[in-house]
Amino acid sequence: MLFRAPETRSRSLVKAFSWRALGSLDTFVISYFVTGNFVFAGSIASVETVTKIVLFYFHERIWTIVRWGRVKAPEHPASVEPTPAVAPAVTQPLSA
């Protein structure tokens, strides 16, 4: 196993593809505006799609092992002792 992460590899991969589809559309549109040529724009977007999917996948997997900035999950309720709603009464011994 390359990285241990709290999400599955398939989830990371699906996220990579969905993000890349949006990013590649953006790249295609920008490339077309810059070049004015659909073929060049398509070529740029195609190459960029493959390289960015691979980069994003590894970027996601690495960030899942970084603990910085994460909020700790609450403990399981069964493992925490319940707090009494009313303080227990203090009993004093009877004097003779």
pLDDT value at position 32? 97
Give, as one character, the DSSP assignment of residue 72.
P
Give me the pLDDT at residue 72, please. 78
The pLDDT value recorded for residue 40 is 96
Per-residue pLDDT of the chain (96 residues; tens, 9 = 90+): 566 667 788 887 888 788 888 988 999 999 999 999 999 999 999 998 888 888 888 988 898 888 888 777 777 666 555 555 665 555 666 665
pLDDT for 71: 77
Domain boundaries, the chain: 21-69
Residue 7 structure tokens: 């999400």
The alpha carbon of 61 is separated from its chain's Cα centroid by a whole number of angstroms, namely: 9
For residue 43, give the H/E element and its range: helix 38-64
